[in-house]
Amino acid sequence: MKPFVKICGITQRDQALQIAALGADYLGINFWPESKRYLPLERAGWLSEIPKPTALVGVFVNPDISYIQEIISTHQVPFIQLHGDESPDFCASVIRLGLRVIKAFQVRDESSLDLISKYPVKDILLDAYHPSERGGLGETFPWPLALTFKQRYPNRNLWLAGGLKPENITQAVQGVQPYAVDVASGVEAGVAGVKDMGKVSEFIQGARALRP
């Protein structure tokens, strides 16, 4: 199965259009105000210009449901990534809005996977653990935990994140065979939210190098 590719933490219109043209399946837009890659809604009018089939994923950390409703009222963001401590009930409430939810979990050992069983979410993103940060750190977690996840939750979609970059993406896809791969800092130009188009292109090509 081919992995879908999500390029996350995009803040600039021109780069978003270029990344869509390179074939990214998803563009991650960070609506968490404390993120280094935060894009305020008032500066996100260009989201309507992103051509299909590339889809937008709104990234949130412990949001109010009203904030999500405000974002989706633009009719541009059909996917919601919840990267905080959101409860199973909260995730269910977002799903009832007609949205596809990606729930992120920071993992450091097998016990980190236990909580996933309580969530009514098919799409699960595994990221590296950090006591205070929420993704975008460029740190990997032990990939065997991703394989354990697939064994324990065969009916869930694995979105693999954490430390992915052009240099290791083919190895990650070959070894883990995720449903999707997700990168932010691994394709940046040294500044959070600013992408290196050469790295983006190399990442996408590397993720798909093993396609039949």
8 is catalytic: yes
Structure-block tokens of residue 104: 């992120």
Of 8, 25, 91, 182, which one is the catalytic site residue? 8
Determine whether 145 is exposed, middle or buried from the number of CB atoms within 10 Å of its CB (0-12, 13-18, 19+): middle
Structure-block tokens of residue 143: 């990939």
Cβ pair 76, 48 in contact under 8 A? yes
Cβ pair 88, 120 in contact under 8 A? yes
In angstroms, rounded to a whole number, what is the distance separating the alpha carbons of residues 102 and 83?
8
Sequence-distant (6+) residues with CB within 8 A of 32 are 38, 59, 60, 61, 63, 83, 134
How many CA within 13 A on the CB side of residue 181?
Answer: 31
Amino acid 159 reads W
Radius of gyration of the chain (CA): 16
In which residue are the tokens 């009018």 written?
45
The string of DSSP codes covering 147-187 is HHHHHH-TTSEEEE-SS--TTTHHHHHHHH--SEEEESGGG
Of 25, 123, 127, 182, which one is the catalytic site residue? 127
User: Which residues are catalytically annotated?
Assistant: 8, 127
